Chain A
Amino acid sequence: MKEVMEASHAVADAVKAIEPDVIAAYPITPQTHIVERISEFVANGEIKSEYIAVESEFSAISACLGAVATGVRAYTSTSSQGLALMHEVLFITSGMRLPVSMTVVNRALSAPINIWNDQQDSISERDVGWLQLYVETAQEAHDMTIMQHRISEDRRVLLPSMVCLDGFTLSHVYEPVDILSKGEVQSFLPKYKPVHAVLDPKEPLTQGPIGFPTHYMEFRSELVKAMEGSLPVIEEVMADFSRTFPVQIKDSRPEKYYHVEEYRMQDADVVLVAMGSVCGTIKEVIDDLRSKGIKAGLLKLITYRPFPAKLLAQKLAPYKKVAVIEKAISPGSRCPLYTELAEALYDSKERPALRSFIVGLGGRDVTLGHIEKIINMTLKGEGAKEEWMF
């Protein structure tokens, strides 16, 4: 059903259709609209999920971990400081291979206190062993919430996942969205069947035991393998989703979901790489510059964990100039996405000149002017290797 709604509500409506067994969440700006709407659904009896109103994000993720350990489906959502508070349990969730699904509404981290958007929160959790998928539109947020469950719960994956969407600039923005019905969602996403983690007195198990030095490294290497093995599963689920649910609203999502979306990259003199809602702004600038004869393109990255390094190297190697635009930093080093892309391209025989641009930290507007400037600087080779677009 087509509706105009904010991305937060598009996510909440996806959760409503999924009807997880357990939802545990703690409200934090800018994630609040998601959990408010879900708790309304529960209070009105529209869904039968067990909603646990916890006292912190540490408890929220712990409750979800515990729920999935008993063999049921669990969902949570958070932002910024909340995600940081979950940090140690995130490792435990992935280490125990429990497919919890979470929506991260991206927000800056203190200090100074800032409730507005950047992607430092989820980028800083890149090493916890969770899948990370970044979305640009409300439609993508809705669709990816449904897909993430199927990907995480696939027995070839069994890893928790985060769908990351920009706070305010996407979460609170109204867009036309095609909302899938409960029947459509549940036929695409079958009931959760636990594989290795269940609570059954007839078949007692121990979960979360100690891993001595004789075994710990093997478990960690399996986690890495599971991450790598999830790439084709993500691809498979995205392809199935795109086939099952064709685009209803023009430009609301890629026709065929994939790890990346290529936008006007053909014959481009400069390619931008970015994640999330900023891609909408970038596309508009590209259209404008193309009409003036400047050939720019965009490679939008959706799958950030696992990092599709080979795919990115293959897509970007043919170009001369690439600019990475990101809303996160790594103090004392280069930006996270930039360094990983540089690593991905290192073994390519031909590789582009790679530039790093920092934009939109703590909710600073990323304007059409910023993007146009980035494109011009990259084309002319002006400025430093890493530039702050204040």
Chain B
Amino acid sequence: MTVDLGRKKVGKVEITTGAVLPSNGSTQSNKTGGWRALRPVTDHGKCTACGICWVYCPDASRFKDKDGKYDFVADFCKGCGICADVCPVKCITMVVEEK
């Protein structure tokens, strides 16, 4: 499939048709974890590695740690607390971020 992005300059700004970008994965380079007010702290002793937090996380910000238990991705987690809410063994605590 040949794609024509319709690149053109409007004044000093380069744009494409409908703002389509000729790349993907920009959400990985734009770190958004700084929006977070609460941090999910996981008790790996209690975690059963069921993966429910990973399923429910709306931001793909849960990952399997080296010990096979789940933890959060600091660069992207926004601290919504859904993981803590859905965890069946309640091993995630939301803790206020402090500078």
- Name A's B-contacting residues (CB within 8 A): 71, 95-98, 155, 158, 194-198, 200, 203-209, 211, 214-215, 218-219, 221-222
List 13 interface pairs A-B (beta carbons < 8 Å), by A numbering: A97-B17, A194-B1, A196-B3, A196-B4, A196-B18, A206-B23, A207-B18, A207-B21, A214-B13, A218-B10, A218-B13, A222-B15, A222-B17
Known: A196-B6, A196-B18, A197-B18. A203 touches B1 (CB 8 A): yes
A93–chain B nearest beta-carbon distance, Å: 10
Alpha-carbon distance A204/B5, docked complex (angstroms): 12
Known: A97-B17, A219-B15. A195 touches B22 (CB 8 A): no
A66–chain B nearest beta-carbon distance, Å: 14
- Chain B contacts for A204, CB-based, 8 A: 23-24
- Does any Cβ of A come within 8 Å of B16's Cβ? yes
Contacts A207-B20, A218-B11 known; 6 new A-B pairs at CB < 8 A: A96-B18, A96-B20, A196-B4, A197-B18, A197-B20, A222-B10
Cβ A195 vs Cβ B17 within 8 A: yes
- Name B's A-contacting residues (CB within 8 A): 1, 3-6, 10-11, 13, 15-24, 26
Partner of A97, one of B1, B10, B18: B18
B2–chain A nearest beta-carbon distance, Å: 9
Nearest A residue (CB) for B22: A205
B94–chain A nearest beta-carbon distance, Å: 27
- Chain A contacts for B26, CB-based, 8 A: 206, 209
Known: A196-B3, A203-B1, A205-B3. A158 touches B21 (CB 8 A): no
Alpha-carbon distance A37/B15, docked complex (angstroms): 42
- Chain B contacts for A221, CB-based, 8 A: 10
Cβ A209 vs Cβ B21 within 8 A: yes
Alpha-carbon distance A208/B27, docked complex (angstroms): 12
Alpha-carbon distance A169/B23, docked complex (angstroms): 49
Cβ B20 vs Cβ A205 within 8 A: yes
A67–chain B nearest beta-carbon distance, Å: 15
- Chain B contacts for A158, CB-based, 8 A: 17-18
- Chain B contacts for A218, CB-based, 8 A: 10-11, 13, 15
B5–chain A nearest beta-carbon distance, Å: 5
- Could you say which of A195, A203, A204 has the most chain B C-beta atoms within 10 Å of its C-beta? A195
Cβ B6 vs Cβ A195 within 8 A: yes
Cβ A215 vs Cβ B23 within 8 A: no
Cβ B24 vs Cβ A206 within 8 A: yes
Cβ A198 vs Cβ B11 within 8 A: no
- Chain B contacts for A98, CB-based, 8 A: 18
- Chain B contacts for A155, CB-based, 8 A: 4
- Chain B contacts for A205, CB-based, 8 A: 3, 5, 20-24
- Chain B contacts for A219, CB-based, 8 A: 15, 19
Known: A218-B10, A218-B11, A218-B13. A208 touches B1 (CB 8 A): no
Cβ A195 vs Cβ B24 within 8 A: no
Cβ B13 vs Cβ A215 within 8 A: yes
Alpha-carbon distance A219/B16, docked complex (angstroms): 8
- Could you say which of A98, A211, A214, A222 has the most chain B C-beta atoms within 10 Å of its C-beta? A222
Alpha-carbon distance A62/B15, docked complex (angstroms): 24
Nearest A residue (CB) for B8: A222
- Could you say which of A204, A206, A208, A215 has the most chain B C-beta atoms within 10 Å of its C-beta? A206
- Chain B contacts for A197, CB-based, 8 A: 18, 20
Alpha-carbon distance A155/B3, docked complex (angstroms): 12
Alpha-carbon distance A239/B6, docked complex (angstroms): 27
- Chain A contacts for B16, CB-based, 8 A: 196
- Could you say which of B1, B17, B18 has the most chain A C-beta atoms within 10 Å of its C-beta? B18
Nearest A residue (CB) for B4: A195
Partner of A209, one of B6, B11, B13, B19: B19
B25–chain A nearest beta-carbon distance, Å: 8
- Chain B contacts for A200, CB-based, 8 A: 1, 3
**In the A-B complex, the 9 residue pairs with the closest CB atoms:** A97-B18, A206-B21, A218-B10, A204-B24, A196-B17, A96-B18, A218-B13, A200-B1, A198-B1
- Chain B contacts for A207, CB-based, 8 A: 18-21
Known: A195-B6, A203-B3. A215 touches B15 (CB 8 A): yes
